[in-house]
Amino acid sequence: MDNNIDNWESLPTQEVEKDLDTNIETGLTDKQVEARLSKYGKNVLPQGKVRPWYITFLLALVEPLQIILMIAAVISVLAPRIGDWHQPVHASDFIDFIVIIAIVVIDAVLETVQTVKARKSVDSLKTLSKPRAVVMRDGKQMEIDAADLVPGDIVLIEAGRFIPAELRILESSEFTVDESILTGESLPVNKNANPIKPTTILADKTNICFMNTFAVNGRAVGVVIKTGEETEIGKIAATINANTDTKTPLEKKLTKFSYWISVFAVLIAVVIFVSLYFTGEKNAWSNYLMVAITLAIGVIPESLAAVVSITLSFSTKRLAEENVIVKKLASVETLGSVNVICTDKTGTLTQNRMTVQKVITDNKVVDAKEYVNLANNFEKDIFKKLLLLPNDAVTEGEERIGDPTELALVDFAEKMGADEQEYRKKFKRIDELPFDSERKLMTTVNKDGKNNIICVKGAIDELLKVCDRILLDNKVQHLDEKMKKEILKESGSLSKNALRVLGFAYSDEQKKKDYEKNLIFVGAVGMIDPVRDSAVKAVKEAHDAGIRVVMITGDHPTTALAIAKDLDIAYTEYEVMTSATLEKLNDQQLLRVIDNIKVFARVNPEHKVRIVQALQAKGNITSMTGDGVNDAPSLSIADIGVAMGITGTDVAKQAADVILTDDNFLTMMKGVNEGRNVWQKIRRTIVFLLGINIANVLGILIISLINHTSPLEATDILWINLVVESLLAISMGMGPNDDSLMSLPPIKGNNGLLKGLLWPIIKISTILAGCLIGAFYVGMLATPDNLLTINKDQFVAGSTILGDGPSHQFDSWKELLKCNEFIRNSDAKINAIVYGRTAMFIVATLSPAIIAHIIRLSNWKSYKRVEFSINKSLLVASIIAVVLNTLILFIPGLNDTVFSLVGDKSWTSSNCWVIFMAIGFAFAAPALILLTDAIVFFGYHYAINPWERNRKMVSDLVRKDQAQEKAAKKKNKQKRTI
């Protein structure tokens, strides 16, 4: 047998039988089946490899930011020992190491848990059971597991069954197949055994049935030509499995940020060490190196990785409650970055359910809803019979079997109070003329009491040819040529709007050969797979958010454009491109025109991939939304693939990054909103962490250069960076969402994490650094005389400043700090600045608890009123931080021994003002930040200079004109529809 043929559709039946070495009448023998199973394998789709949870965990540990943090953790242990490796090791020396490693592990655990949870959620959405197939083998008909099919098997198919493999039709009877999951074609395709010219368009292969599509009407006999991975759906599944995971935009930005912050930290360390070395005591170089490394580590936002993971984890939890399953944490932010949404039509934007929209009755077009509400009369009673009697669709409960067009007629009749089952029992069918492609009519003869009624439906142009009367105003009247032209004109207007028109007529009993003669025309219906109401709202939200929506469908251009008009996606045929045109364009030509195309019609799966790749090549962050097998390759290649959870195929769900469990396109916009908020929360956290860290470094560096000693100890810096800031930063990601972000343009894919953040970081760091320095020097005014008396053993041997005395009394703390005759590692300077250190520590720990609440990066420029929302998690974290810092200040041993602050017994009525002064500086920093923001806000909205005012006025006029033009287009579209 030859199974390498590509153009099976062009071969005659006898040649197909010969090439496959099979027998149409008796099928394969058991021996042939066994040999072919051994050669071709099982008829199953290839499965992608599932990554074990521990591999996911290990990969999360080797992200760039995590590696930097682990290096910092090791340095935090080694730095204090530089120059003195023999000092004893204490458990307290590993506190910072433990905290940093804990943050890294927590981040990896969150990533692993979310990935495993998402995988389980996806598995639970798989609802299709194992398909079965009816075959002929050794001359016997039997039902087998579809996985056991082999090329050459003869398969019998009837309505209601899934196609178990790729088949070439050998015989058929009124056989139609729903191929929407593969081709995107919303209407069933008629299948027959006639050879056709070779074609690459799957939707045009009218004698081939594709695996996993669905038979909706009639019966057929086919021969298996391909199984498993060789089928069209198998090729798609294999392509998806071969695709390697690519980094999301957030992951790329975090990696880039990690490199930059590492370089910045190294530069900080070098600058600090060099500055201290050349301005201070040369023999204290190891102390300076330790300070430099400690501050360099302090610049690195250690909690950022945890903040990102926890923020994303909370977002995925919120999205799960909103029917959005996110398979990978970082995909949430990608949703917020999307600026082009490519979407399938059938089942995504539309309901994937043909519905009657218009009715032609009494020679006029009325809306279907209006017709349903009309009073019952003779014409309406006849019309209900015509909808249900010449109809083979079966509906019972949730089960719906039959042609979608006939199912739509049943649904419409039921809206008018007619029950399909009762009508068919009451008006039994006694004869029929089945539909065929030449007559384009279907006729049934049904018992109607003592008489019979002939019910005819079909193409309206063919139906009018056999009608000589018409039912008008409940009376039968003569149907002349002028009336026929008017009806055809009304029908044509519906067809132009992509509605499928079916006409209906009836007659009293006649001879069989005259069933379709001298009929009475009753009316017609126009039906279409209608857009979802939620999709209209979703597209509007997308446009308002600056997101372009592109429809990609296997449907015909006319149908696609009609749906696009209803959704306000496209308005003219110039915005529609077919696959035939697409194939004629090379990549460069496609890039030149793709920005002007809103609808791609009649496309194959490979075309969808090419379209997505072209959009990505233009610098867009592209989302692909779909439910069918034909969508899977593009779902996989897009920056973010979004699959439907109910109607979506398993292949589509496997390829996607996000799954909508309610099949609602509007739900995706909730994901976009969440993604934008995730991005904003991460950016706010970066501003907070870098602003506070740089402020601390600046304050410590400036004071160290002036006084030749660090104002804060390593333990103080560690507490500020890893406990206070981390506690606040993590809770910042748990706050409520800001819906105003949906009125901003999408984030550009090439924007780094620091894009637009330099000013707020500089603002916070400079203001807070000034307050830290101010608090230190004001606090030093409380230094008592006993701290200015230095014992002999704290000076270098032969010190000239001592004379012969056992100690030396300095006149001021400034004079003490300028003295260079202390021995190395002396506690003299540490003790002398304890009041300044305490004041600075209070500001460094209290001020961030306030600043965290006032960082605004939202869309304040678009509104003259700034709304503040309360982040309850951040409020609780701030209270905890304040309480912890208060305990540190007043718990004996903890304040002076561990943190080198003023001991609880040292506070008196004469120096306690330092605490209140420091609190004042702590509040001064956020107050100055708010004042700066208020000045900028006022200047933008209320003090615009003439040039900016004119520009704003022109922008407002342009937006107004665009809104009016859009409204006019919509109004014209509605007129054309009517």
- What ranges do the domains of the chain cover? 325-350+534-671, 355-528, 785-832, 946-978
Helices (H), 806-912: 813-818, 828-832, 834-854, 872-890
Residue 468 tokens, joined: 């000589």
How far apart (Å, rounded) are the C-alpha atoms in residues 193 and 172?
Answer: 7
Q: Which CATH code, of 2.60.40.10, 3.40.50.300, 1.20.1050.10, 3.40.50.1000, is assigned to 325-350+534-671?
A: 3.40.50.1000
Q: Confidence band (pLDDT; 50, 70, 90) for 351?
A: confident
pLDDT digits (tens, 9 = 90+) for 70-100: 776 777 677 666 655 666 666 666 766 776 6
pLDDT for 62: 76
Length of the chain: 978
Residue 247 tokens, joined: 């980094």
Mean pLDDT across the chain, nearest whole number? 82
**Beta-bridge partners for 443:** 433, 456
Q: What percent of the chain has pLDDT over 70?
A: 84
Three-state DSSP class for residue 577: strand
Q: CB neighbours (10 Å) of residue 434?
A: 14
Q: Confidence band (pLDDT; 50, 70, 90) for 943?
A: low
pLDDT digits (tens, 9 = 90+) for 144-186: 888 889 999 999 998 778 898 999 999 888 888 888 777 766 6
Scored b (16 or more CB within 10 A) or e, 773-806 reads bbbbbbbbebbeeebbebeeebbbeebeebeeee
Closest CA to 306 of 60, 506, 8, 26: 60
End-to-end CA distance of the chain: 58
Query: 249-279 and 64-78 are packed helices; what angle lies between their axes, rounded to 10 degrees?
Result: 30
Global pTM value: 0.71
**Beta-bridge partners for 478:** 469
> Is the confidence at residue 129, as pLDDT, over 50?
no
How far apart (Å, rounded) are the C-alpha atoms in residues 354 and 115?
Answer: 38
How far apart (Å, rounded) are the C-alpha atoms in residues 675 and 617?
Answer: 22
pLDDT for 443: 92
> Is the confidence at residue 4, as pLDDT, over 70?
no
CB-CB contact of 100 with 722 (8 Å): yes
How far apart (Å, rounded) are the C-alpha atoms in residues 312 and 733?
Answer: 8
CB-CB contact of 66 with 108 (8 Å): yes
Q: Confidence band (pLDDT; 50, 70, 90) for 811?
A: confident
> Is the confidence at residue 823, as pLDDT, over 70?
no
Three-state DSSP class for residue 78: helix
pLDDT for 200: 78
Q: Could you say which of 107, 178, 344, 448 is catalytic?
A: 344
CB-CB contact of 501 with 526 (8 Å): yes
Residue the block writes with tokens 């919509």:
970
Domains 325-350+534-671 and 355-528 share a fold: no
Q: DSSP of 877-902, one letter per residue?
A: HHHHHHHHHHHHHHSTTIIIIIT---
Provide the pairing of β-strand 467-472 with 208-209. Answer: unpaired
> Is the confidence at residue 551, as pLDDT, over 50?
yes
Residue 210 tokens, joined: 């594709």
CB-CB contact of 663 with 532 (8 Å): no
Residue 739 tokens, joined: 């819906």
How far apart (Å, rounded) are the C-alpha atoms in residues 829 and 284?
Answer: 13
CA distances (Å), origin 965, targets 55, 577, 744, 971:
55, 24, 22, 10
How far apart (Å, rounded) are the C-alpha atoms in residues 726 and 685?
Answer: 10
> What would the mean pLDDT of 322-327 be, rounded to a whole number?
86
Closest CA to 647 of 660, 638, 633, 637: 660
- Give the residue with greater pLDDT, 822 vs 832: 832
> Is the confidence at residue 218, as pLDDT, over 50?
yes
Q: DSSP of 67-80, one letter per residue?
A: HHHHHHHHHHHHGG
Radius of gyration of the chain (CA): 38
CB-CB contact of 635 with 652 (8 Å): yes
Residue 661 tokens, joined: 């469990």
> Which residues have a Cβ under 8 Å from the Cβ of 214 and sit 6 or more positions away?
161, 162, 163, 177, 178, 181
Q: Is 483 exposed, middle or buried (0-12, 13-18, 19+ CB in 10 A)?
A: middle
pLDDT digits (tens, 9 = 90+) for 569-625: 998 889 999 988 998 999 999 999 999 999 998 887 778 889 999 999 998 999 998
Residue 885 tokens, joined: 């810092």
> Is the confidence at residue 367, as pLDDT, over 90?
yes
How far apart (Å, rounded) are the C-alpha atoms in residues 26 and 953?
Answer: 81
Closest CA to 864 of 948, 940, 935: 940
Q: Is 448 a catalytic residue?
A: no
CA distances (Å), origin 390, targets 399, 444, 452, 518, 583:
20, 5, 14, 18, 42
Closest CA to 734 of 681, 792, 804: 681
Amino acid code (one letter) for 331: S
How far apart (Å, rounded) are the C-alpha atoms in residues 403 and 389?
Answer: 14
Q: Which CATH code, of 3.30.360.10, 3.40.1110.10, 3.40.630.30, 2.130.10.10, is assigned to 355-528?
A: 3.40.1110.10
Q: List the single range of 253-267, 435-449, 638-652, 960-974 with lowest mean pLDDT.
A: 960-974
